[in-house]
Amino acid sequence: MSWKQFTYLLPMTLDEAVALLAEHGPEARVLAGGTDLVLRMKSGQWRPGCVVNIKRIPGLDKIRFDPASGLRLGTLVTAADLARSELVQTHYPILAQGAGGMASMQIRNLATIGGNLCNAAPSADLAPPLIALEGSAVVVGPDGQRRVPLDEFFLGPGQTALAPGELLVAVEVPAPRPGRAAIYLKNSPRRAMDIAVVGVAVALTRPHQPAPRPDRRCEDVRVVLGAVAPTPLRARRAEALLRGQEINEERIAETARMAAQEAQPIDDVRGSAWYRRRMVELLVRRALLQLTEGNVPQ
């Protein structure tokens, strides 16, 4: 069947969308920003029998923040919205940073958080920062609503924990934690219009204590690697080396080496496995040094 033959469906409510997805099963594809879907349909890589456009469902494009409960990003929030949001820039700058480094202005204006996560590219720029901030996916399906921690959301390239008929409706990020700072470092040959060869997000929490004598102890840490495994990957053994410990250069170096060991990179056109592993070590070390020495907020 040519991609030219598909049914276009335009649900006006979440219930209607879920019913359509359940009814059409694997034949259906969700249309959000379209930057992946439309291209894959043009190339013939995907040939869905029907396309369910979720853009008319009210509320899915909202950014909501509450100092107590945290951030809720509707699935249709675009990368541009995220990069520009003052709320996000103030309370979760790592998310604005990840979104602002994606593709081009034109694509950031179309591409959505939901699409970036559900397409489950190992290199997706929003995944490592959201996992570092302990985000979770809010999923609605025929059996109601459930939450999936984002570090359990990705199962493989293009594969997520979404069951047939389920829709990602939002991403939730807990309230900013005092003493936590986070950073996303992306390695790619070009500064724009390029996907990550390696992406590293680190969130480091230290006991909240005002300058000039910041506490050197690591209360908690998340080290999340992008583009070096079939899914965005938490370097849990690296995290364990640092958690609860005094932060010094030696321990940072040890943590970075462990993260490089935990990576499972492949050779491809963008970089060799060897290079990627070296870059993981470098970027994790750089991220931890910047978070410890520098003044990176949140």
Partner 1 sequence: MKYPITLTVNCEQYKLGVAPHRTLLDVLRNDLELRGTNRGCDSGDCGACTVLMTRPGDESGRAITSCMVLAVDADGADITTIEGLARNGQLHPLQQAFVEHGAVQCGFCTPGMILTAVALLKENPHPTQAEVRAGLAGNLCRCTGYAKIVEAVLAASAHPVAEATR
* Contact pattern from residue 195 through residue 214 relative to partner 1, giving x for each residue in contact according to CB under 8 A and a dash for the rest: --------------------
The verdict on 87 binding partner 1 (CB under 8 A) reads no
The verdict on 193 binding partner 1 (CB under 8 A) reads yes
Q: Which is nearer to partner 1, 191 or 213 (CB)?
A: 191
Q: By the 8 A CB rule, do 125 and 186 touch?
A: yes
Q: Residue 267 CB, nearest distance to partner 1 (Å)?
A: 24
Which residue, chain included where needed, has tokens 């829709």? Answer: 167
Q: Which is nearer to partner 1, 41 or 279 (CB)?
A: 41
Q: Which is nearer to partner 1, 34 or 214 (CB)?
A: 34
The verdict on 261 binding partner 1 (CB under 8 A) reads no
In this chain, which of 23, 55, 148, 219 binds partner 1, going by CB under 8 A?
55
Q: Residue 63 CB, nearest distance to partner 1 (Å)?
A: 12
Question: What is the total residue count of the chain?
Answer: 298
- Subset of 14-53 contacting partner 1 (CB under 8 A): 31, 33-35, 38-39, 41-42, 51, 53
The verdict on 191 binding partner 1 (CB under 8 A) reads yes
- At 202, phi and psi to the nearest 5? -130, 130
Angle at the Cα of 125 (from 222 to 269), degrees rounded to 5? Answer: 110
Pairwise CA distance, residues 164 & 168, whole Å: 12
What contacts 212, CB < 8 A, 6 or more positions away? none
DSSP state of 271: B
Q: Which is nearer to partner 1, 44 or 210 (CB)?
A: 44
DSSP secondary structure letters along 107-157: HHHH-BHHHHHHTT-TT-TTHHHHHHTT-EEEEEETTEEEEEEGGGTEEET
Q: Residue 260 CB, nearest distance to partner 1 (Å)?
A: 30
Q: Residue 35 CB, nearest distance to partner 1 (Å)?
A: 5
Looking at the chain, list the stretches that DSSP marks H as alpha helix, in order from N- to C-terminal side.
14-24, 37-43, 79-84, 86-91, 93-100, 105-110, 113-118, 127-132, 236-242, 249-262, 273-293
Considering Cα of 37, then 11, then 110, then 84, what sign does the dihedral take?
negative
What contacts 104, CB < 8 A, 6 or more positions away? 192, 193
The verdict on 61 binding partner 1 (CB under 8 A) reads yes
Q: Residue 2 CB, nearest distance to partner 1 (Å)?
A: 8
Alpha-carbon radius of gyration of the chain: 19
Q: Which is nearer to partner 1, 41 or 183 (CB)?
A: 41
The verdict on 77 binding partner 1 (CB under 8 A) reads no
Q: Both tokens of residue 144?
A: 């109601």
Strands 159-160 and 167-173: unpaired
Q: Residue 59 CB, nearest distance to partner 1 (Å)?
A: 11
Q: Residue 202 CB, nearest distance to partner 1 (Å)?
A: 24
- Subset of 97-156 contacting partner 1 (CB under 8 A): 103-107, 109-110
Q: Residue 188 CB, nearest distance to partner 1 (Å)?
A: 12
Question: Binding-site residue total for partner 1 (CB under 8 A)?
Answer: 31
The residues that touch partner 1, with contacts defined as CB under 8 A, are 3-8, 10, 31, 33-35, 38-39, 41-42, 51, 53, 55, 61, 80, 84, 103-107, 109-110, 191-193
